[in-house]
Amino acid sequence: MSTGILLTCMLFTAMGASMDLESVPLDWVKVGGEIGRRIDITIYNNTMVMDIDGEFLEPFVKKENVGGGYIGIGKTIDALVRFAKYTNDPKVIERKDHVVKTLLDAQEKDGYIGLFKKSDRVWKLWDIHEIAYIIYGLLMEYRFFKNESALEGARKAGDYLIQNMSPYPGRIPGDGDVCWEMGTTGVETAMLCLYEDTKDPKYLDFVKSYMKLDQWDGPIIKGRWGHIQGHAYAHLKRCMAKMQLNRIETNLDLLKPSRKVLDFILKDNGMVIIGTCGQHECWHDTQEGSANLGETCMTAYLIRWWDECLRETNNSKFGDLMERAIYNALFGAQSLDGRRIRYYTPFEGKRVYFDQDCYCCPCNFRRIIAELPQMIYYTKDNSIYINLFTPSKATLTVDNTPIEIEQETNYPSEGVVKVKINEIPYEKAFPIAFRVPLWCKEVKARINNGDWMVKNDLTGNIWSIENSWEKGSILEINFDMKMRVIRGTQAQAGRVAIMYGPQVFCVSRKANPQLANKDLRLITIDPKSIEGPFPDDTVRKGGLKFTVKGWDTLNWYPLVKYDYENIILTEFPNPDGEMTYLHVINPDDPIIEDDEFWGLSM
Ligand SMILES: [Zn+2]
């Protein structure tokens, strides 16, 4: 057995036909705190106010496109379906129904459901990609709302793709402008979901014999060149399709590309501190963080992929990765009022918003936000597992017993989490388990104000607390949350970033008028002068900031007094944030530590 296969087996040893952790039904959970606020503004300040008829639906009704184009209507249906289920708000349901019906009414007799003129269908970019996600979106409508006409429409669209692609094995959409992985992104998932919902073997067969999914071994190609074979989102999407295929017919070889990506991002500088990957959509390992860093599609897919890995392996470190990306790269990709979304979220230099509501990134952003409610609680056999800490309520089923659970917390501003049993029909013994974050060296817990239990050996693991719970029981958890000074690598060598819990902090000129005309890369800080956290509402009510002292890099530090007595660092999603890694006087200062993810074996 080769080392690669052995590692794959070790990591994904628990992976079989089913998930180890079960998600909570979407309509059984309600989320508050910053995660809940982001969900709400994405629904009501974005999805519900964008021009759904003009920008999204009209192209599919008219079908006049020639030469190219992409909207992302399938991704939008997926997000709307989940938002409708989560809120049960008649207005959201009405908008979702309107989009599904308008699109299905526009489907042609041969099954075509796209925006192109007849002459340009299928092989012009991005017709196949668009149709693949429409199939997926319609199947989610079927799965969440039992809408048979959506299943029928998805089937017809799937059959249309098979009929029109099958005569041309290996043909690359866009006449070879982009690689095969990019041009067909989403097809395997759509077909595998069709197979799961219909059990018709032709969909599974297409994925294997035409798409040759099982043969792809996932080479990591860095940089944007040639036919863009290093496209990170297309790559990860395909890794996930292979994981899905493994759930259908167990074959651990299918997990090798996922293993490869995991090693690249954790051991070879493939991921950056804000929890995302890629420069200009493509793999990079330079740790540069300007301009085109972290495509929002990639951030969304990383979170989704880690959630699947978590559910399949029950390895809580995937939850650590999820929350790093959620609080930094993901929330940083959205304006504070929710209306605007970014294509890229750099950690250095000015950030800009994307100028449309459609296209890949805004649509994938909405989808992952719509999935967040199901990433907080899970059940496993007869226990409850808490992955994300945020004010929330959920009804979970343990041994067929419905239990309403609630979290009260100011997380991520502080590490105290109160878990309350609101409803339980009778006293019942079962474990409540939760993630102990990798940054947390000491964790305490107590039941009903009893004695604190203290653990120092659970960092990066799960603490499972067995007890007989009844209505009103309270499990209080206290994570020791300390400021961390994180060492930069590669392009960020000699520099540090400040973190607190899962949050990264950044410098904006707006918060620091004294730096208005300064090159922020030419500021040198004294890490011993960092103070905080202090309350700061720049990004969110109840948010945090830190302060630090420093010099102009051209000055004779440390022998002269500070040029800057009060440089303010705010939470990373601050839209005015421009600099995350700051130059330090002593790169070997013992206060500086490695990012807890760096070199991590999972
Ligand atoms: Zn994108």
**pLDDT tens-digit map of 377-422:** 999 989 999 999 999 999 999 999 999 999 999 999 999 999 999 9
The pLDDT of 290-294, averaged and rounded, is 96
CA of 230 to the centre of ligand 1 (A): 14
**pLDDT tens-digit map of 152-184:** 999 999 999 999 999 999 999 998 889 999 999
**pLDDT tens-digit map of 190-246:** 999 999 999 999 999 999 999 999 999 999 999 999 999 999 999 999 999 999 999
Omega of the bond leading into 412 within 30 degrees of 0 (cis): yes
CA of 496 to the centre of ligand 1 (A): 29
CA of 195 to the centre of ligand 1 (A): 27
CA of 576 to the centre of ligand 1 (A): 22
pLDDT greater than 60 at residue 138: yes
Residue spans in the chain of domains classed CATH 2.60.40.1180: 380-411+415-479
The confidence score (pLDDT) of residue 18 equals 61
Residue 501, exposed/middle/buried by CB under 10 A (0-12, 13-18, 19+)? buried
CA of 447 to the centre of ligand 1 (A): 45
pLDDT greater than 90 at residue 507: yes
Strand partners for 393: 30, 406
CA of 324 to the centre of ligand 1 (A): 20
**pLDDT tens-digit map of 327-378:** 999 999 999 999 999 999 999 999 999 999 999 999 999 999 999 999 999 9
Amino acid at 36: G
The pLDDT of 547-561, averaged and rounded, is 95
The confidence score (pLDDT) of residue 67 equals 87
Domain 50-211 has CATH 1.50.10.20: yes
CA of 343 to the centre of ligand 1 (A): 6
Comparing C-alpha atoms, which of 501, 474, 478, 482 is closest to residue 572?
501
Distance, C-alpha 333 to centroid of its chain: 11
User: Residue 553: pLDDT band by 50, 70, 90 thresholds?
Assistant: confident
The confidence score (pLDDT) of residue 437 equals 98
Comparing C-alpha atoms, which of 137, 438, 505, 465 is closest to residue 266?
438
DSSP letter (8 states) at residue 43: I
pLDDT greater than 60 at residue 17: no
| CA 450 – CA 314 distance, rounded (Å) | 29
pLDDT greater than 80 at residue 589: yes
CA of 130 to the centre of ligand 1 (A): 13
Integer angstrom CA distances of residue 192 from 135, 136, 306 = 11, 10, 20
**pLDDT tens-digit map of 39-89:** 999 999 999 999 999 999 999 999 999 988 999 999 999 999 999 999 999
H, E, C per residue of 382-423: CEEEECCCCCEEEEEEECCEEEEEEEEECCCCCCEEEEEEEE
The continuous run of DSSP H or E covering 432 comes out as: strand 428-435
CA of 365 to the centre of ligand 1 (A): 9
| Summary mean pLDDT of the chain | 96
CA of 306 to the centre of ligand 1 (A): 18
The confidence score (pLDDT) of residue 304 equals 98
pLDDT greater than 70 at residue 5: no
Residue spans in the chain of domains classed CATH 1.50.10.20: 50-211
The pLDDT of 286-302, averaged and rounded, is 97
CA of 312 to the centre of ligand 1 (A): 26
User: Residue 10: pLDDT band by 50, 70, 90 thresholds?
Assistant: very low
pLDDT greater than 80 at residue 504: yes
CA of 280 to the centre of ligand 1 (A): 10
The CATH number of the structural domain formed by 380-411+415-479 is 2.60.40.1180
User: Residue 554: pLDDT band by 50, 70, 90 thresholds?
Assistant: confident
The confidence score (pLDDT) of residue 343 equals 98
CA of 294 to the centre of ligand 1 (A): 9
DSSP letter (8 states) at residue 126: T
568 within 8 A of 542, measured Cβ to Cβ: no
The continuous run of DSSP H or E covering 137 comes out as: helix 127-145
Half-sphere exposure of 344 toward its Cβ, with a 13 Å CA cutoff? 19
CA of 384 to the centre of ligand 1 (A): 35
The confidence score (pLDDT) of residue 175 equals 84
CA of 296 to the centre of ligand 1 (A): 6
